[in-house]
Amino acid sequence: MKNALILFVLFFSIQSQSQTYLKFNAATAAIAIPNIGIETSIGEKTTFSVDIMASFWESFNGNSPMKFCTLTPEIRYHFKEKYNGFYVGAHAGPDVYELQKWDYFDTNKYEHGFGYRLGATVGYNVKLNDKFLLDIFVGGGWHQGFYHGYYNDGTPGRYEKAKEWNKSGEWLPYRGGVMISYKLN
């Protein structure tokens, strides 16, 4: 309880001294994958953003699961001024998933596991008015996954024979969209 109170006081003291935006990704919402976040000022040209994205799709094609949840905390540097123009960001965050990997789309296999991402984002903020802005961005990086591989056609057991967790690391594009941002203060 004490830690929650400290975090609450810290969050609202930062928020009272800085601009804070609540964000919603319109691009991922169009395919029923919610992505929401919050971004707040932490310096003259820097901000801290954190967002969560989740897919609850049992399957896109009736056979292969597509469920995942990612958490992406990110430090952003704005070249012109905060919340206006180009920025770059660096992030690291966890994920959990039950999905068919991009290179297994033509197979009867899927993966259930967790992982982490280390990467970068490039974006552009467009101020619409005093309260709203658009955040257009793309990002990617290194994903390290730990998973169990299963068959999606009813075949029992795992397709891979790793004793504990199978591991897979790859460079991937894994984020992007158009965040509609609303200024809270």
Q: Tabulate helix, strand, coil % of the chain (nearest 5).
A: 10, 60, 25
Q: Which residue has the tokens 């991937």?
A: 172
Global pTM value:
0.86
Task: Spell out a b/e string for 162-178, using b for 16 or more CB atoms within 10 Å of the CB, else e.
Answer: eeeebebeeeeebbbbb
Query: What pLDDT score was predicted for residue 96?
Result: 98
Max CA pair span of the chain: 57
- Please identify every stretch of the chain with a pLDDT value under 70, giving residue numbers as ranges: 1-18, 60
Tell which residue, 86, 113, 77, 76, has the closest CA to residue 97.
113
* Residue 76 near residue 83, CB atoms below 8 Å: no
SS3 sequence, 114-159? EEEEEEEEEEEEEECCCCEEEEEEEEEEEEEEEEEEEECCCCCCEC
Q: What is the pLDDT of residue 172?
A: 92
Q: What is the pLDDT of residue 2?
A: 58
Query: Which CB contacts under 8 angstroms, 24+ apart, belong to 27-32?
Result: 27/176, 27/177, 27/178, 28/53, 28/177, 32/56, 32/57
Residue 149, pLDDT score: 95
pLDDT at 153: 87
Given this model, what pLDDT does residue 131 score?
A: 95
Q: What is the pLDDT of residue 62?
A: 73
